[in-house]
């Protein structure tokens, strides 16, 4: 059953990302529930604003890129190691977001997108691995 959940989730992510790029107008009303949708922080495709901002797009694309990797190489990390890996993957997003929020820097949409890719990829991979193997004990570290 877990394998079916992985496949269903993977197909859902792939469909979401495909629609983000191929039919941004269709998802735009849904996007307002999960993203600020600021035009200055969003990509435009053929004159249509994407349903989510560049940073959210990076998170979703990163998760979609993790799907085939996680399905093929679903090595499960211990809980403590997974948390450390996720924290490291979040650093680019945390740094860019914090610098922008504090008013010290203004990053391009491409930079926001690229900074979010590691977090999306890592979170996606950890979710898929957990679906396949269940959570690992906290005290084991490998």
Tokens of 33: 């529930």
Q: What pLDDT sits at residue 135? A: 63
Confidence class of residue 137 from pLDDT cuts 50, 70 and 90? low
pTM: 0.87
Domain span including residue 24:
2-133
**Confidence tier at 75 by pLDDT (50, 70, 90):** low
Q: What is the CA radius of gyration of the chain?
A: 16
In a domain, residue 141? The reply is no
Whether 142 is covered by a domain: the verdict is: no
List all residues 6 or more positions away from 128 whose beta carbon is below 8 Å from its beta carbon. Answer: 6, 9, 10, 66, 67, 70, 71, 74
Residue 139: inside a domain: no
Q: What is the largest CA-CA distance in the chain?
A: 51
What's the start-to-end Cα distance of the chain, in Å?
26
- Summarised one tens digit per residue, pLDDT across range 77-126 is 777 888 899 999 999 999 999 999 999 999 999 999 999 999 999 999 88
* Residue 114 belongs to some domain of the structure: yes
* 23 inside domain: yes
Q: Is 140 part of any domain? A: no
* Number of domains making up the chain: 1
Residue 12 CA to residue 27 CA, distance in Å, equals 14
Task: Tell me, yes or no, whether 138 lies in a domain.
Answer: no
């Amino acid at each position: 059953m877990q394998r079916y959940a992985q496949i269903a989730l993977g197909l859902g992510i792939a469909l979401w990302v495909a629609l983000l790029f191929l039919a941004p107008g269709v998802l735009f009303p849904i996007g307002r529930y999960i993203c600020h949708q600021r035009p200055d922080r969003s990509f435009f495709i053929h004159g249509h604003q994407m349903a989510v901002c560049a940073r959210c797009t990076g998170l979703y694309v990163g998760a979609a890129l993790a799907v085939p990797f996680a399905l093929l190489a679903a090595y499960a990390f211990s809980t403590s190691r997974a948390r450390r890996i996720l924290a490291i993957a979040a650093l680019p997003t945390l740094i860019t977001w914090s610098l922008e929020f504090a008013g010290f820097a203004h990053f391009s949409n491409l930079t926001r997108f690229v900074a979010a890719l590691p977090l999306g990829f890592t979170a996606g991979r950890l979710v898929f691995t957990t679906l396949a193997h269940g959570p690992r004990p906290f005290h084991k570290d490998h």
